[in-house]
Amino acid sequence: MKHEFYLSLGSNMGERGAYISQALELLEMQKETLKLCKVSSFYETDPVGYLDQGAFLNIAVYGKTSLQPLELLAHTQSIENTLGRLRSVRWGPRVIDIDILLYNSIRMRTDDLVLPHPRMTERTFVLVPLVEIAPELRLPDDHYTIGERIQQVGKEGVRLWKTN
Active site (catalytic) residues: 85, 94, 97, 99
Displacement of CA 123 from its chain's centroid (Å)? 11
**Amino acid sitting at position 19:** Y
Instruction: State yes or no: cis peptide before 118, omega within 30 of 0.
Output: no
Q: How far apart are CA 133 and CA 112, in angstroms?
A: 26
Cα gap 55→43, rounded to integer Å: 10
